[in-house]
């Protein structure tokens, strides 16, 4: 893509992705690079401003990560945050020392009576969020302080001639008052960015990029029905039409009606060349008697690759297939960046068809690799995908296999499909579906005594699970209204033969995982 971008150099901060998100919230494109990225790479990528992230290291420590010195000679505006400002102080001739009183948590930022570009339009004092042990004690030549905190006289520093700026606190977090406005001042007043990172414009840019890359070649994509692969399929189809073939593998582990929904959407509305492979019998045969969840996952992964591989070979007989398309997102890309580790952006092994590119010798087409998850959802809406598909909850690659504890049988799969469908419908009807990150039913191989009508039953237990989260790294159990849980439980027991008891999972991640297996 040819956006004019802000580069964020990652020095190991847990907040690097947050900085990138804040910049994009201002409708400015951002890209994350390893801290030692070359000036040549930044020039080639159309970078118009640089942000140094924070980080856990001390600039006084031997071997602490540092940017290449040529970055300071590019003539670009630079903003150093926390560790970033300490780096600037150390590398540009100032002095950094360890604080006697480390600053963690809230602090009060007091302005100096000097004109400031970063603090333009703001009023003192501001409550800000600190997390540092070192501080700049002597400023490099050309810098002056425009604000301080209780523990640092140089909490905001500026060299307006070279357009170098530094902040000792974290403006990117919600705890810092008016932090987003400080970032906006850097973007718009200092870097002269234009707020043109909007999804409508991105669609046309992405289409042109796909056409230029693919030419007259053929592309194959493994369509799962999930958000990422669905948006990728819709975008590529809009760009190259019949040059795209999607393969949907029915492994017998799908949710109720999922295969039919995918066929209706992509064959009907988007006119995609969709090949549906019914491999359910093969998968269920391979999984018969397997109880260990890790073995289940490995079997499913191997079989998917084998089925997909056969589909590619069949297509190759009819014409040349040169590209494998995947729904890789930007968080998947930047997770591979680590301090001290090689190129600026490295693709991690995080693909829907893991291991295929090397075996099949296909070129990768990843049209979503510049986007975060919420941006992918916005792109899906811009492409005309229905909201219920764009905003659907995550679904695991192994499907219902990791939501059936113990043996996987056709009977258990049917029970779970119907119970899960009832639970999701009740969440949608009550307006709670969009309030949780993920929700589903689990089949437990536990039988309990019940009473239905005048008779005794001895049937299976169904567990309901709903969690709130922002990124699935941690999750908390959702406090669903009791009446919603009551309706779901009553309907499942009444309508799903084989279940006579429903329980609700109230464990968080950690220590539990979101999925049961």
Name the residue among 256, 246, 236 with its Cα closest to residue 276.
246
Name the residue among 506, 251, 231 with its Cα closest to residue 402.
251
Distance CA 92, CA 84 (A): 12
Identify each DSSP E strand in 197-338 by its residue range: 218-222, 244-250, 273-278, 321-325
Identify each DSSP E strand in 453-498 by its residue range: 455-468, 476-477
Say if residue 260 is exposed, middle or buried (CB neighbours under 10 Å; 0-12, 13-18, 19+): exposed
Considering 29, 82, 370, 375, which one is annotated as catalytic? Answer: 82
Read off the tokens for 121. Answer: 């339009």
Name the residue among 164, 170, 183 with its Cα closest to residue 78.
164
Considering 170, 218, 375, 426, which one is annotated as catalytic? Answer: 170
Bridge partner residues of 250 (DSSP): 278
Distance CA 280, CA 300 (A): 11
User: 82 catalytic, yes or no?
Assistant: yes
Considering 172, 177, 322, 370, which one is annotated as catalytic? Answer: 172
User: 462 catalytic, yes or no?
Assistant: no
User: What are the phi and psi torsion angles at 283 (to 5°)?
Assistant: -65, -45
Q: What is the Cβ-side half-sphere exposure of residue 97, based on CA atoms within 13 angstroms?
A: 11
In order of 68, 164, 286, the CA distances from 280 in angstroms are: 54, 60, 10
Distance of CA 266 to the CA centre of its chain: 24
User: 170 catalytic, yes or no?
Assistant: yes
What's the maximum distance between 2 C-alpha atoms anywhere in the chain? 89
Name the residue among 212, 96, 70 with its Cα closest to residue 152.
96
Name the residue among 37, 21, 27 with its Cα closest to residue 3.
27
Distance CA 342, CA 345 (A): 9
Identify each DSSP E strand in 211-359 by its residue range: 218-222, 244-250, 273-278, 321-325
Residue 211 has a CB neighbour count (10 Å cut-off) of 14
Residue 134 has a CB neighbour count (10 Å cut-off) of 23
Which are the catalytic amino acids? Answer: 82, 170, 172
């Amino acid at each position: 893509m040819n956006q004019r971008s802000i580069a964020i150099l990652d020095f190991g901060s847990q907040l690097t992705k947050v900085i990138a998100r804040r910049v994009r919230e201002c409708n400015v494109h951002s890209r994350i690079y390893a801290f030692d990225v070359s000036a040549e790479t930044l020039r080639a990528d159309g970078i118009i401003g640089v942000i140094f992230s924070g980080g856990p290291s001390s600039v006084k420590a031997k071997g602490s990560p540092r940017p290449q010195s040529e970055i300071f000679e590019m003539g670009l505006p630079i903003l150093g945050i926390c560790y970033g400002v300490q780096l600037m102080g150390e590398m540009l001739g100032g002095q950094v020392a360890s604080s006697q009183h480390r600053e963690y948590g809230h602090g009060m930022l007091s302005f100096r009576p000097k004109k400031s570009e970063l603090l333009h339009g703001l009023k003192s004092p501001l409550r800000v969020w600190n997390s540092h042990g070192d501080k700049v004690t002597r400023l490099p030549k050309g810098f002056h302080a425009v604000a301080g905190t209780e523990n640092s006289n140089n909490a905001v520093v500026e060299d307006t001639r070279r357009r170098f700026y530094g902040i000792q606190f974290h403006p990117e977090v919600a705890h810092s008052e008016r932090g987003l406005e400080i970032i906006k001042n850097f973007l718009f007043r200092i870097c002269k960015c234009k707020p043109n990172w909007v999804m409508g414009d991105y669609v046309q840019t992405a289409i042109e990029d796909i056409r230029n890359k693919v030419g007259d070649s053929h592309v194959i994509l493994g369509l799962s029905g999930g958000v990422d692969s669905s948006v990728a399929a819709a975008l590529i189809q809009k760009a190259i039409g019949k040059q795209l073939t999607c393969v949907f593998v029915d492994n017998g582990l799908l949710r109720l009606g999922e295969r039919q929904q995918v066929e209706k959407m992509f064959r009907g509305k988007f006119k995609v060349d969709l090949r549906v492979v019914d491999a359910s019998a093969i998968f269920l045969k391979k999984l018969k008697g397997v109880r260990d969840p890790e073995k289940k996952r490995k079997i499913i992964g191997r079989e998917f690759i084998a089925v997909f591989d056969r589909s590619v070979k069949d297509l190759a007989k009819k014409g040349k297939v040169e590209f494998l398309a995947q729904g890789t997102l930007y968080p998947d890309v930047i997770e591979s960046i680590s301090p001290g580790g090689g190129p600026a952006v490295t693709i991690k092994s995080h693909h829907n068809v893991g291991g295929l590119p090397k075996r099949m010798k296909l070129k990768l087409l990843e049209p979503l690799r510049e986007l975060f998850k919420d941006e992918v959802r916005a792109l899906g809406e811009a492409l005309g995908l229905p909201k219920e598909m764009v905003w659907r909850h995550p679904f695991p690659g192994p499907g219902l296999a990791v939501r059936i504890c113990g043996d996987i049988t056709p009977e258990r799969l049917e029970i779970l499909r119907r119970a899960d469908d009832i639970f999701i419908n009740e969440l949608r009807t009550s307006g709670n579906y969009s309030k949780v990150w993920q929700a589903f039913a689990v089949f437990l191989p536990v039988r309990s005594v019940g009473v239905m009508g005048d008779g005794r039953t001895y049937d299976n237990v169904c567990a309901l699970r709903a969690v709130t989260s922002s990124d699935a790294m941690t999750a908390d159990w959702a406090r669903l209204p009791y009446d919603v849980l009551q309706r779901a439980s009553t309907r499942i027991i009444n309508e799903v033969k084989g279940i006579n008891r429903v329980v609700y999972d109230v464990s968080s991640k950690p220590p539990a995982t979101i999925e049961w297996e």
